[in-house]
């Protein structure tokens, strides 16, 4: 089965998730040709929203490698790339993540947003902390577009520091990171910045292919 082969490839630690050549987590050639991040304003409530790639084409393969392969190579590569982008934006003092549903966490054995957030924190020399908790509710995937835009039900797990970086694997509608920003601001944060592997332009946007 193709699916099985892809999964096996993703699980190999030193193989490019896009072209499958042996080598670093993502080879230089594929890293350089990832689709450009759509030039969009940050989702509501965010001071900035950083991403490495658009969520399409090879960008999707990179996110799949993060979600289902979970190799430290792809996480480490993504953390360094995101840390570089975050340093160019509003300064943050702590890193947290959008917690996944308990079902997803159980299915994958981990929360990939937490894994990525802790790696980004390590790359930036910042602390990572669980600042958000997920309230009971359906997973994003089973909800309508309008519901998704509102984001998952999130609440602060503790008082939030002044400037927070919130990490997720993909920013699609922006609902999840906006919900995180609302909860963090309600808990005391004044600056909230988002970082994700990939970002999708809204369906209503046009001309999002350029990176300018």
Cβ closest to Zn ion, residue 60 vs residue 105: 60
**CA neighbor of 94 nearest in space, from 157, 160, 148, 190:** 160
Q: Minimum Å distance from CB 18 to Zn ion?
A: 5
Q: Minimum Å distance from CB 28 to Zn ion?
A: 8
Cβ closest to Zn ion, residue 34 vs residue 54: 34
Report the alpha-carbon distance of residue 107 to residue 124 in Å, rounded. Answer: 29
Q: Minimum Å distance from CB 69 to Zn ion?
A: 14
Cβ closest to Zn ion, residue 77 vs residue 97: 77
Binding site residues, Zn ion, CB under 5 A: 16, 18-19, 27, 30
**Dihedrals φ, ψ of 153, to 5°?**
-70, 110
Strand partners, 171: 199
CA dihedral of 27, 32, 34, 39, whole degrees rounded to 10: 150
Cβ closest to Zn ion, residue 33 vs residue 107: 33
Q: Minimum Å distance from CB 195 to Zn ion?
A: 23
For 174-212, the three-class secondary structure string (H helix, E strand, C coil) is CHHHHHHHHHHHHCCCCEEEEEEEEECCCCCCCCCCCCC
Q: Minimum Å distance from CB 33 to Zn ion?
A: 9
Cβ closest to Zn ion, residue 35 vs residue 122: 35
Report the alpha-carbon distance of residue 2 to residue 88 in Å, rounded. Answer: 40
């Amino acid at each position: 089965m193709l699916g099985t082969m892809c999964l096996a490839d993703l699980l190999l630690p030193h193989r490019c998730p896009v072209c499958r050549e042996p080598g670093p987590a993502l080879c230089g050639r594929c890293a350089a040709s990832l689709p450009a991040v759509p030039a969009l304003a940050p989702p509501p409530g965010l001071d900035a929203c950083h991403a490495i790639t658009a969520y399409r084409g090879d960008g999707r393969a990179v996110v799949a490698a993060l979600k289902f392969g979970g190799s430290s190579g792809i996480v480490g590569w993504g953390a360094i790339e995101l840390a570089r982008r975050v340093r160019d934006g509003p300064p943050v003092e702590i890193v947290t993540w959008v917690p996944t549903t308990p079902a997803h966490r159980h299915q994958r054995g981990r929360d990939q947003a937490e894994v990525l957030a802790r790696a980004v924190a390590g790359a930036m020399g910042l602390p990572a902390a669980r600042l958000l908790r997920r309230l009971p509710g359906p997973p994003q995937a089973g909800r309508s577009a309008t519901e998704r835009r509102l984001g998952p039900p999130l609440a602060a797990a503790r008082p939030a520091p002044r400037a927070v970086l919130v990490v997720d694997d993909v920013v699609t509608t922006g609902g999840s990171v906006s919900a995180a920003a609302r909860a963090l601001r309600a808990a005391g944060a004044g600056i909230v910045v988002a970082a994700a592997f990939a970002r999708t332009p809204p369906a209503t946007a046009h001309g999002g292919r350029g990176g300018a």
